[in-house]
Amino acid sequence: MNFKLIKKLSEVAGPSGFEDRTRDLITKEISSYVDKISVDNMGNLIAFRKGQSEKKMMIAAHMDEIGFFVTHIDDNGFLKFTTLGGFDPKTLTAQRVIVHGKKDIIGVMGAKPIHVMTAEERDKKITVKDFFIDLGMEKTEVEKIVEIGTPISRERECIEMGDCINGKSLDNRISVYILIEVIKKLHEKELPFDTYFTFTVQEEVGLRGAQVAALNIQPDVAVALDTTIAYDVPGSTPQEQITKLGAGPGIKIMDSSVICNTKFVSFMKYIADKYNVPFQSEIMQGGGTDTSVLQKMVAGGAIAGAVSIPTRHLHQVIESVHKKDVDNSIELLYHITKSINRL
């Protein structure tokens, strides 16, 4: 496992709509392993490998992360912001952020101190609007660097923690890492189909990049790579867990936005069994991934499925994935891609 690369991918800034730094990092990693690289008008990065058939396979991992936009600079230099993607407001407390203005500057999330709250305020559910960003600077200095619309990312180091990797934006940078490693592993191997390894943008704000990429590519078969919930923690029941860490990648059956092609689901399970890759059957009743648009943004529909990486503490700066699940996801996707003509 290349933890150094995982760390780079986790820590690089790339909020939805501002994925440039992430895209540049990916491009450097894969450029010598594919036939052609292109970037569409949305910013999707598409790496192409010629196959033995004109049938098309698309494998997509979104490269954006949840983040923020500056919406206001007040008279004292504090920033107000809006979110890019879904946040549980309580996870914003006591966090550092990076404001990507004319230069990168560190800020901290602030809110009204509990010491001066009324009893009613203490009992009130906190919202995103209760927070501001403190840059430690006067307004005149802030305005030299920051303007309305400046993007903001979260600041957190990616670390190895026991058998796990822990950091921010492993949704979905761990999938980006997996796809990069599959591209490298497939280098100089014959592929059955023309294969489009696609790193999509703006998934966290409505699956926007994948829609454009699928419309352009028109794949016959498509696989989405994304994280899924691992609620294998104290207080959960087995039926609530969805997946658990260390038990293998999830093979998606359905989520709130898609029912995966049943033949493709069976094929993925067959490949996993054939190559002794442990897996979990994934049904997620809330939320969705790029899988749904890969399936339906194609004339006649694409045969679509997904490989999901079990992840604890999603959409926080302490997301955790198990190293074995990462390695097994690489192995599963590698064999699916090499064997796709048997579907």
Sheet hosting strand 319-322, strand order edge to edge = 159-161, 164-167, 319-322
pLDDT confidence band for 202 (50 / 70 / 90): very high
Q: Tokens 């290349």 sit at which residue?
A: 2
Structure tokens at 164: 């796990």
- The CATH class that applies to domain 3-65+168-342 reads alpha beta
DSSP designation for 125 = P
User: Could you tell me the sign of the dihedral formed by the alpha carbons of 179, 181, 187, 192, in that order?
Assistant: negative
Q: Domain limits of the chain?
A: 3-65+168-342, 67-154
For the chain, give the mean pLDDT: 96
Neighbours of 331 (CB within 10 A): 22
Q: Tell me, what's the pLDDT at 114?
A: 87
Q: What is the pLDDT of residue 164?
A: 98
Q: What is the pLDDT of residues 205-228, one digit of tens each?
A: 999 999 999 999 999 999 999 999
Nearest to 9 by CA among 163, 169, 139, 227: 169
pLDDT at 193: 98
Q: How far apart are CA 97 and CA 69, in angstroms?
A: 12
Query: Mind listing the pLDDT tens digit for each residue in 248-303?
Result: 999 999 999 999 999 999 999 999 999 999 999 999 988 889 999 999 999 999 99
In the predicted model, what is the mean pLDDT of residues 156-179? 98
> What is 67-154's CATH topology?
Elongation Factor Tu (Ef-tu); domain 3 (2.40.30)
List b or e across 199-219, with b for residues whose CB sees 16 or more CB atoms inside 10 angstroms: bbbbbbbebbbbbbbbebbeb
101-146 pLDDT, tens per residue? 999 999 999 998 889 988 888 889 999 999 999 999 999 999 999 9
Q: Please compute the mean of the pLDDT values over residues 180-202 and round it to a whole number.
A: 97
Closest CA to 195 of 44, 296, 341: 341
Q: What pLDDT, on the 0 to 100 scale, is given for residue 112? A: 86
Token pair, residue 197, equals 């390894």
Rounded to two decimals, the pTM is 0.96
pLDDT digits (tens, 9 = 90+) for 307-318: 999 999 999 999
Rg, Å, the chain Cα set: 21
- The 10s digit of each residue's pLDDT in 59-106 is 999 999 999 999 999 999 999 999 999 999 999 999 999 999 999 999
Catalytic positions are 203
What the block records as the tokens of 329 is 């996801």
Q: What's the CA gap between 41 and 102, in Å, rounded?
A: 24
Looking at residue 123, its pLDDT comes to 86
Q: How far apart are CA 249 and CA 227, in angstroms?
A: 9
Q: What is the pLDDT of residue 286?
A: 85
Is 183:333 a contact under the CB 8 Å cutoff?
Answer: no
Which H/E stretch holds residue 98? strand 96-100
* CA–CA dist 331, 343 (Å, integer): 18
